[in-house]
Structure 1
Amino acid sequence: MTTYISEIDVSLNNVEEQNLRGKGFKQLPGNLNKEAGGNCIYLWYKEGPKAITKIQVTFNDGMTTGLTRAGYKKINKNLNAGARGDCIYLWSYQGSGEFDTPIVEIDVTTDVNNEAAKFAFGWERMACDLNRKAGGAWIHIWVKRVKQTYICDITATDSFGLDADLFGNHYIRVDENTNRGAGGSKVFIWYRQTTDPKRALADLKVSINDKEAREYQDQNYRNVNVNLNDETCGNQVYLWYKQEESSNPIKAIALLLNTALADDYRKAGLTVIEKDLNAGNCSHAQYLCVYQ
């Protein structure tokens, strides 16, 4: 019988570690608070016949409402416990159907040198740095699914009002604000996955000015009609995509805030779109990366 990642949990201290071990959970190496000065925090998982199909991260209260309404399960343990920084929580969901592909492996990276190469082995990186605003190492959770998946739909939101509907329609939220540090709206990119490469997106672009937007429109790209820089003093930034049958469909996207890794990501075969999603702001640079 095939087994999947069926439960995840978090330990904040030695007592919780012993408790989870006694319940049959397996511990992943890698302190989720590495170099941030807080508790030694670890991610644990259990395998079973009913799969987790989605994992999300929240770092503010607004992000939680849609997850609760959509039936996600919260692990009520702050991943920044004992450190400064945002209160960060994990959420999991066990879904089924075309847009819910079971997770069969889970991993954590605490060393940036171990990130880029993982994409070639079918891993997906979760966007939120688990040391968000706490300093320390860059910490990311990664998942691998039972089959290769492809991105078939992409959208964006500039408020939390549509979250429950999008989660209910099996979208995954890229859990980092594209307006980070710039003020303005809380803007998030969302995507949906399929195992059918014929339904996948063929290309993604980013425009940071009117000239680029006109060029992509003339090239028959379709627009995601949400300004990723909404309500800031910066440029108008938009996503553009093509959805057509391709010999090189999009398998994964990644939001790269540690832009020093751009060369590593390129060497690993990703396309790094070096157009800052915060263009025109004196704030945190972000690049969108595409793996095909």
Structure 2
Amino acid sequence: DISLNGDEELWFSNNGYTKLPLDLNKEAGGNDVFLWYKTGDYRAITRIQFSFNDWMKKGLMNEGYHLVNKDLHNGAGGSNVSLWFFKGYTECDVPIVELDLSTNEADDTKKVQPQWERSACDLNRGAGGDWIHLWMKRQHQTYICDIQASDGDISNHELLRQGYTRIDEDINRDSGGPDIFIFYQQTTDEKKAITDLKISTDTKESRLVKAGYQKVKTNLNDGTRGTPLYLWYKKDETNKPPITFITVVNMMAKEEYVKAGFNVIDTDLNLKNSGHKM
């Protein structure tokens, strides 16, 4: 849940909630906003998503997600970012047992540990404050077993229904094209895991086909004048560890991730268009 004032903070504290001490409006102005969570053995939360436009809200509501009906930018302006959660029971649904927040790329790289994953949505999106990202720890280690991309609200809803997690950042942000999101599906079975990801332009596709990679059909630059870009994945790279974690980062954060030893696909997702560099 979210607290917007001292009275709400006191209530959460008295009722067994854990407070994340970072103000979600840090350096953005507005009221103090804090995230709280509570642990227990009954009906754990298994997925957390964010919305920042009306069709994202509609899709999450239609698929049974619960809205925390409070503005994360209370008094600060910016995108209308809302927090949603889901309690599921499929193979894709592993309980979330702990939450944390990061405020910069160096902080990000320190938090990448087994069982943890990062939301790509900047909780200060459009508000001008510090970058703030939510981190979630799973009860058990999960692996990425499928990846998709979607350029329409209908297919977005269908993927949520099938247990996919959406990377909550529009790949076409500020490019003039349609909203495009990457989705991934998780499993606890390491044998089903994806072991390598690539992004291609047209000139590289034949090599990837010969190497046994599978193509994700959606053009990540669809509707723009940019270079067509496609995701490719492979599951049988025995010399590579299973992928446990996928996110999208701002181009300014790339160097910090590379220095920390992470596998970063060095391709601007808005290649040769005017969109947000990531």
The normalised TM-score by structure 1 is 0.91
Q: Deviations along 1:237-276, whole A, 9 cap, x unmatched?
A: 110011236351111111011x222222123331111101
Task: Work out whether 1:101 is the aligned partner of 2:94.
Answer: yes
Letter matched to residue 13 of structure 2: R
Aligned partner of 1:137: which letter? Answer: D
Correspondence list, 1:41-120, <5 A? 41-49=33-41, 50-120=43-113
What one-letter code is carried by the residue in structure 1 that aligns with 2:187?
Answer: T
Paired residue for 2:119? 126
Structure 1: runs of 5 or more not aligned: 1-8, 287-292
Alpha-carbon separation, structure 2, partners of 1:99 and 1:239: 21
**Contact 1:32-1:110 within 8 A present in 2 as well:** no
**Matches of 1:107 and 1:260 in 2, distance apart?**
22
- Per the normalisation by structure 2, the TM-score is 0.95
How far does the alpha carbon of each residue in 1:126-157 deviate from its partner, in whole angstroms, 9 at most, with x for none?
00000101111010000011111100010010
2:167 counterpart of 1:174: yes
Asked if residue 151 in structure 1 is aligned to residue 134 in structure 2, the reply is: no
Distance of 1:228 and 1:280 partners within structure 2 = 12
Deviates more, 1:22-31 or 1:101-110: 22-31
CA apart distance, 1:97: 2.5
Are positions 1:223 and 2:215 aligned together?
yes
Secondary structure of residue in 2 paired with 1:20: helix
Whether 2:257 is the aligned partner of 1:265: answer yes
Distance 1:242 1:251 in 2: 14
1:15 aligns with 2:19: no
Contact 1:200 1:245 in 2 (8 A): no
Aligned residue in 2 for 1:33: 25
Give the CA deviation at 1:39. Answer: 1.4
Single out whichever of 47-56 and 161-170 deviates more from structure 2.
161-170
**After superposition, where does 1:228-243 map in structure 2 within 5 Å?**
228-243=220-235
Structure 2: gaps of 5 or more residues: none
Corresponding pairs, count: 276
